Structure 1
Amino acid sequence: SNLQESLAIKLLHLSAAAYGPKQKECIEVTFPIEEERFLFTSTEAVCDILDSSCALFIVSSKNRSETIITFRGTKSTGQLLMEGWDTVGIGLDFYGMGKVNRYFMKALDRLWSSVIEFLARYEYRDHSIIFTGHSLGGALAALAAARTVKQGFRPVSAIRLYTFGQPRTGSYEFAMNFDSLKIESFRVVYASDIVPHQPFCKKNMQMPTNKEGSRACRASKDNEAYHHGTEIWYPQSMKAGSLYLECVGEPHNEDMECSDMISFDTTNMDAYIWDHKHYFDVMVSGFGISGCSDRLIGAEPAQQSRISKV
């Protein structure tokens, strides 16, 4: 696997920091002081069918040619799940790449001027860019990475993408076109986090169900939700050094040996959302709001039928 777990953990910390006002504190505790990382800009906008805010912040360095752009989609993932951003549907063409969720595309449009402002700065022209985000922030990070490459703001060799608990962002056509850009991309999923399975894909009724009762997603040219990029699935624990799978099996990007094996059951919703809120052994939003200092996490809810988690 090309996943750099130590980098992924740092990016999860920045993704957490996007939920609160203490981004500088998170930067200080996440990176060695000699890397001279600093907050270049932080911006918030109203992006939402629910009038809630989305945000991004940009971390650059005075002595390394690397900048990290972190997105936050919303402060209330659980609320959005319940209120149905997923029903907004796969709706708008994304720069000739295929259809994407219109909510995500409009949210990125609100924040894009801050990205462009950075990309246009002469003194940062040689910087590689890492895009990252948790939950809906991951969807925005993915679209931002795609747009940066597709519109020629940076060569693909200068772009990386790490997301955590990212929902399906576009159609099968978009996913295939995204993959063809060849962005180094990792979509990290913890256990039975349900958000990466929203909006639901159309199932392949020609294939039998697995022992969990789940069925494979259908690869189709119809504008149905389908993942891009390589899933990294942590089936059991997310303490550093835990087992993870790089999911390159079938169907492509929707590997049935990884989190798609789970048959989600509404009686376990609390457990699925708990997994969404906890990555790399922190409660993501609480950890970020604390300035990346509070690692205390609440008890995990019991599941009636916690998946075997391989």
Structure 2
Amino acid sequence: MFLSHRLPIIFLLLIISSTAYVNYNEEEAKLFLNLAAAAYPANNASDMREECVKKTFPDDTFAVFAAITTPCDKRNNSCQAFSSVSNKTRRIILSFRGTDGTSQLYQEMTHSLRDYPYYNETDDKGNVGQIGRVNKYFLTAMNVMWDVMVEPLLPLYPNYTFIVTGHSLGGAMAALAAFRLSYRKVVENPYDIRLITFGEPREGDYEYAQIFQQYVPYSFRIVHYTDPVPHLPPLDELNITLTGYPFHHTREIWYDNKFTSYTICNTTWGEDENCSDRKKFWSYGAKAMKEHLWYFNHYISVYGWNGCNSSNIISNSTAFFLFLYFLF
């Protein structure tokens, strides 16, 4: 049965206001960064991924359930992610990698400019709801990873807490995966799905963003100063709430250039002009590109390949080429 997804306004406001009670925890966000970085090493460097997980949770025991690298678009560009499970603390990690190469970047950019189809999602009772519009590339990529990495583990580990993260394109896939987990009531309490992303692009429109924050109240988007990727696809300020126009879900946590301070942005409106939206990121050149790769004083991909040990300092020119390679 197809249901148009509309909630009574009072219920909607109650749910949205409840998100304000989740406090941002910087130390927790740094742990999530380790897990986002752990998605970057190739499967033949699984020891580096495992080092990141051990560093994050030294007193826990996580076992990798799946580490997947698989084609996720018509050009056979790959997406990569992993899931790990702790039976000790009943937790599941889902971590999604960013873009791999310029061919994938081209596919993402072309879809980002034109493809925002309606997103129809099935709930736990088999009903289909319309969840606004979302970026076709991001949703297709998440669906591929869901089928091979997430769906198989769900019946084996009922009511485990989910730790969901990703950087850039991985952030968009992580957000969509977290939403699906909640919408399908994989866990009884939506607060048991914890989502923190880094440099996440806009994966949906205004309607999607409003519904998203109902279902994923434990959600933070970390943005590093003038990182350009959270501003892609571009915001159309004249049509900001219209169907099919990109719009961020809440809540942005906006950091200064050196990660010495942060702003907790609007808790109910994903596009806060007092946060990163006020910066003209395109005027910062290579510096902005570098900031997309640099979170909590680590180059995320390099940090992951080093087993979440300190990443090396790199120049703006090197950052430029890394940015082209790992833009999303």
The TM-score with structure 1 as length reference comes to 0.83
Runs of 4 or more above 3 Å deviation: 76-79
Distance in 2 (alpha carbons) for counterparts of 1:168 and 1:77 = 19
Distance 2:207 2:237 in 1: 16
Q: Secondary structure at the match of 1:43?
A: strand
| 1:57 Cα offset (Å) | 0.7
8 Å CA contact 1:78–1:273 kept in 2: the answer is no
Residue 276 of structure 1 aligns to a residue in which SS?
helix
Are 1:93 and 2:126 matched, yes or no?
no
Change (3 A) 1:169 1:181: same
Q: Name 1:12's counterpart in structure 2.
A: 33
Q: Write the mapping of 1:1-310 to structure 2, written as runs, cut at 5 A.
A: 2-20=23-41, 21=45, 22-32=48-58, 34-48=59-73, 50-76=75-101, 80=105, 84-85=109-110, 86-95=112-121, 96-113=130-147, 114-121=149-156, 124-155=157-188, 156-204=190-238, 218-238=239-259, 242-248=260-266, 252-265=269-282, 268-300=284-316
Q: CA 1:186 to 1:81, structure 2 compared with 1: closer, same or farther past 3 Å?
A: farther
- The answer for the alignment partner of 1:214 in structure 2 is none
Distance 1:14 1:77, change over 3 A: farther
Q: How many residues align?
A: 280
Residue 200 to residue 78, structure 1, CA distance change in 2 (3 Å):
farther
Deviation at 1:36? 1.6
More helix by share: 2
Task: Give the distance between the partners of 1:245 and 1:49, measured in 2 at CA.
Answer: 39
How far 1:277 sits from its partner (Å)? 0.5
How far apart, CA to CA, are the structure 2 residues paired with 1:82 and 1:223? 19
Give me the whole-angstrom Cα distance separating, in 2, the residues matched to 1:262 and 1:78: 29
Secondary structure of the equivalent of 2:153? helix
Matched residues in 2 for 1:77 and 1:188: separation?
24
* 8 Å Cα contact 1:67-1:127 kept in structure 2: yes
Distance 2:236 2:74 in 1: 24
User: What SS does the corresponding residue of 2:63 show, helix, strand or coil?
Assistant: strand
Amino acid in structure 1 at the alignment position of 2:143: D
Post-superposition CA distance 1:259-286 (Å, at most 9, x none) = 0001233x53322111000111111111
Alignment RMSD (CA, Å): 2.2
Q: Contact (CA 8 Å) 1:41, 1:59: kept in 2 or not?
A: yes
Q: What is the Cα deviation at residue 287 of structure 1?
A: 1.1
Gaps of 5+ in 1: 205-217, 302-310
- Asked if the contact 2:202/2:230 (under 8 Å) is kept, the reply is yes
Aligned AA for 1:66? R
Secondary structure of the 2:177 match is helix
* Aligned 8 A contact 2:226 2:284 in 1: no
Change (3 A) 1:50 1:82: closer
Deviates more, 1:288-297 or 1:74-83: 74-83
Q: Following TM superposition, by how much is the alpha carbon of 1:244 offset from its aligned partner in structure 2, in angstroms?
A: 0.8
Report the secondary structure of 1:98's partner residue: strand
Task: Find the residue that maps to 1:237 and give its secondary structure.
Answer: coil
- Give aligned-pair identity as a percent: 35
User: Does the CA contact (< 8 Å) of 1:188 and 1:233 recur in 2?
Assistant: yes
- Structure 1 residue 29, shift from structure 2 partner: 2.6
d(CA) in 1 for partners of 2:265, 2:71: 35
Identify the residue that residue 326 of structure 2 maps to in structure 1. none
Q: 2:250 is aligned with what amino acid?
A: G
Unaligned runs of 5+ in 2: 1-21, 122-129, 318-328
Whole-Å separation in 2 of the counterparts to 1:66 and 1:83: 31
Tell me the distance in 2 between the aligned counterparts of 1:285 and 1:73.
9
